[in-house]
Structure 1
Amino acid sequence: MFERVVKFGRPLLVLAAWCCGLGAVFAASLGLSSFFAPDYWLSDNMSFFLWQFLYGGIGGTLCAFAGFWFVRSFRGVYRLLVVIAAVATTALAVLTGLRTVENTVPLLTSSGDTREIKIVSINLEALFLGDLVLTGYLKEADPDIIVFQETLWNLQKWRWHQRGLPIGGPNTSVYPEHLLVGDLGELVIFSRFPIEDTSSLVIPGVTPPGASVHYNADREILSFSINIEGQTVDLVSVHSDSPRTARRWQNKRAYFDKMDAVIAERLESDATPLIAIGDWNSAPWSARFQRSLEANDLATAYPDGIPQVTRYFFDYRLRWILGSPVDQVAVSKDIGIVDVSLGPHIGSDHRPLLVTLQLPEQAKN
């Protein structure tokens, strides 16, 4: 009986071994394309899924290596396949690691001698501001500044009006008193500190053929300053288009060009610290994302030092399979990053990004 199982099972195991080897090469190749052809839509988008490609490359290579127990024919070709899979996967792991630490800074230790601010960024996906899960999280996180994307401000106002309540609800302690709304109503800021020198720049986008009637190709960049007891800090709220089609990828690239110009203008016009935060719709491994950091001499950091999924598809529980880290924070080099963490599932398709930042020493003067 055992011999019959082995006789009929071996061909399936051999087939599986070949598929694993080929799959590892394919997965690693897709990941590597984001490094070697970053200015093409498809290859640039592969940077969203480098974790998944690494999982596939490592798992496929290990299974293919185990296949040496079963593969008898074309052993030389099979050995070459396993070597290629191992080399490609190793190269992908090394490049991913190098890109992860590129333009990153180590987290600082919190100190009572320096001023710190806490900022939370959330893509709401039109989640109601009065949602109990959302307000519960904000109450626990207790941020100084809240940066919302996909807010649909007019809809938010209508929802409060329907309930006969002021914007923010009967108890406004969750939402700080200072409010800034972008021209499109898509980006919204709540701040405990006074908001000054505001600018809402709308970047017209091109709607791709066949887009949903609910899709709006236009995006905005909301830049402003906050006054923290006499210290001025510039903030840039970011939300580029999702590059799920070639046309929308071009919209995103145009947005990044405008964003770089806005950040550069803020940095050149004064010597104030600067923070750029939001849904960049870009993985940290994207060459274009890193180019923006380098061009403006900005630094970033990740939760526990590792980019983690902030945007997920279909189901929160499947985020490591169908998800990507797209919500980022970037700061000028005079700002220290004390902590970066992610909040829980709150009903949106994004997790909250919570950062604690340490302002420069002169902030106390």
Structure 2
Amino acid sequence: MLFRTKPKPRSLFASLLSLIGWCGSFGAIGVSAMGLSTFFAPDFWLADNMSFFLRQFLAAGIAGCLGGALGFVVHHRLQLIYRLIWAIAVIAFLTLAGLTGARTLANTKPLGPLAAGDKPIKIVSINLEHLFLGDKVLQAFLEQEKPDIVVLQEVLWWLQERRWERFGLEVGSAGKNGFPEYLKVGDLGGLAVYSRFPILKSEEQVIRGELPAGANVYYDADRELMSLTLDTGKAPLHLVVIHPDSPRTESRWLNKRSYFDEVDTVLDTLKAENGDNILAIGDWNSAPWSARFQETLERNGLKTAYPDGWPQTTRFFFDFRLHWILGAPVDQFAVSKDMQVVDVSLGPDIGSDHLPLIVELGQTTSAEN
């Protein structure tokens, strides 16, 4: 009589490798699906917000695919199904990587040197997160960079004034401590621009937003949108300062989209009046992979660029040392096609939860008042 041999029990190490393989493959499919949703369902709040985390999804996806590959060193009872699941994971990851790369390159322009003797315009944009403008670290940074234009968001100007008065300092510090001499503050006090160049014209509008349920007393659904014309001595520079609502709830996401609609209207006006030397900059509260962000660039013929050629964290959470893991690229700029991008970089941690965005630009001489 023949007896069937009992299968040899799998070792603990082999079982662990099998578990890593299955979890890695399914995990890669899951994170890739979340990332792909931002490309295939951009008009849904949650799917659009997945664009903030594409770098994290890509990192998790490649780790999952490698974990799945590691699982091939052991035998699986459902070997054919395992191979199929891993293949789906790899295809999903590669699709996400390809779409992310394509959107990163969309509407970007290469950096280029200026002609001999020309000097770039240096712009620094910072979301202060209510950091005091009299802060020594901030002032030391500006004194070192010597920007021609400083664009600030989340200023809380009324509170800044109280702090200056409390410390017996001159309100605004325009022309001192690294701040250029010309100053324009938004009516709501959320935006402020310091400029070395005289301000020829300024227009501002307050975009009313819906107040979400459960909003605390610090939250303001209304947002400013500023448009300034600066006399650079070479050609007027048309500066649009941007800071829409943060889309952390669906109602606030709708506020942000309404704000972007108004941005398009302002840019339409500038293009109709002139069309040259346009710079839109600030905390867009949008990742560069957001379809709505790219739509504004495409619709208005604007171009952008990134530090070292790749979007990097400008808004971090909890601790700057974790910015690659817990952070997103939300501070952006866009320029009309005639403007030359000389350099793009990020400043150091200055005490806000955003890093300074530093942009150096060249401009045409064809624009007229």
TM range (shorter): over 0.9
Tell me the distance in 1 between the aligned counterparts of 2:139 and 2:39. 40
Asked if 1:309 is matched to 2:309, the reply is no
CA distance in 1: counterparts of 2:75 and 2:307, whole angstroms: 43
Are residues 1:85 and 2:89 paired?
yes
Deviation at 1:272, TM superposition (A): 3.7
Q: Cα offset for 1:159?
A: 0.4
Which SS does the other structure have where 2:324 is aligned? coil
* Bigger Rg, which one: 2
- Give 1:319 deviation, angstroms: 1.0
CA contact (8 A) 1:115 1:358 kept: yes
| Cross-structure match for 1:197 | 201
Using a 3 Å threshold, how does the CA distance of structure 1 residues 253 and 48 change in structure 2: closer, same or farther?
same
Structure 2 counterparts to residues 40-119 of structure 1, below 5 A: 40-119=44-123
Query: In the alignment, is residue 161 of structure 1 matched against residue 165 of structure 2?
Result: yes
Secondary structure of 1:202's counterpart equals: strand
Residue 134 of structure 1 corresponds to 138
Query: Per-residue deviation at 1:321?
Result: 1.0
Counterpart among 331, 337, 341 of residue 335 in structure 2: 331
The corresponding residue for 1:291 is: 295
Q: Which runs of 5+ in 2 are unaligned?
A: 1-7
Structure 1 distance, partners of 2:60, 2:301, is: 34
The 8 Å contact of residues 31 and 46 in structure 1, kept in 2 or not, is answered as: yes
1-structure distance, mates of 2:368, 2:241: 25
- Report how far residue 196 of structure 1 moved: 2.0
The equivalences for 1:174-253 within 5 A come to 174-229=178-233, 231-253=235-257
Shift in Å, 1:284: 0.5
Closer, same or farther in 2 for the Cα pair 1:171/1:198, shift >3 Å? closer
| 1:241-293 CA-partner distances (Å, limit 9, x unpaired) | 11011110000000000111011111212244110000000000111000000
Q: Distance in 1 between matches of 2:293 and 2:169?
A: 41
1:117–1:358: 8 Å Cα contact kept in structure 2?
Answer: yes
Give the secondary structure class of the aligned counterpart of 1:122.
strand
TM-score w.r.t. length of structure 2:
0.95
Deviates more, 1:161-170 or 1:314-323: 161-170
Per-residue deviation, 1:71 = 4.0
Residue type of the alignment partner of 1:24: A
> 1:352 — aligned with what?
356
Please point out which of 279, 282, 291 is paired with 1:278: 282
Asked if the contact 1:114/1:359 (under 8 Å) is kept, the reply is: no
What residue is the counterpart of 2:156 in the other structure? 152
The one-letter amino acid paired with 1:235 is L
Comparing 355-364 and 117-126, the one that deviates more: 355-364
Alignment correspondent of 2:125: 121
The one-character-per-residue Cα deviations of 1:105-158 (angstroms, maximum 9, x if unpaired) are 000113334342000000000000011111111111110000000000011111
Identity among equivalent pairs (%): 53
CA contact (8 A) 1:114 1:364 kept: no
* 1:294-318 deviation digits (Å, cap 9, x = unpaired): 1110000001111111011111111
CA distance in 1 between counterparts of 2:334 and 2:142 reads: 22
d(CA) in 2 for partners of 1:354, 1:31: 28
| Equivalent residue letter for 1:190 | Y
For residue 11 of structure 2, give the secondary structure of its aligned residue in structure 1. helix
Name the CA distance, whole Å, in 1 between partners of 2:333 and 2:325: 23
Residue 347 of structure 2 is matched in structure 1 by: 343
* Letter of the structure 2 residue corresponding to residue 228 of structure 1: T
Would the aligned equivalents of 1:115 and 1:359 in 2 still touch at CA under 8 Å? no
Displacement of 1:8 after TM fit?
Answer: 2.7
Structure 1 residue 13: Cα displacement: 2.6
Paired amino acid for 1:27: V
User: What are the Cα deviations for residues 28-71 of structure 1, in whole angstroms up to 9, with x where unaligned?
Assistant: 11111100111110110001111000001111001111111124
- Give the TM-score, by structure 1 length: 0.96
Distance 1:188 1:8 in 2: 62
> How many residues end up aligned between the 2 structures?
362
C-alpha deviation, 1:10, in angstroms? 2.6
**Higher mean Cα deviation, 164-173 or 209-218?**
164-173
- Name the CA distance, whole Å, in 2 between partners of 1:214 and 1:130: 22
Change (3 A) 1:22 1:112: same
Identify if the C-alpha distance between structure 1 residues 62 and 337 changes in structure 2 by more than 3 Å, giving closer, same or farther: same
User: What's the secondary structure of 1:226's corresponding residue?
Assistant: strand
Whether contact under 8 Å (1:114, 1:361) holds in the other structure is no
1:169 Cα shift? Answer: 4.9
Residue 19 of structure 2 is aligned to residue 15 of structure 1:
yes
Query: In 2 relative to 1, CA 310–71 (structure 1 residues): closer, same or farther, beyond 3 Å?
Result: farther
In structure 1, give the amino acid aligned to 2:58. Answer: L
Moved more, 285-294 or 107-116: 107-116
- Could you tell me which runs of 5 or more consecutive residues in structure 1 were left unpaired when the two chains were aligned: none
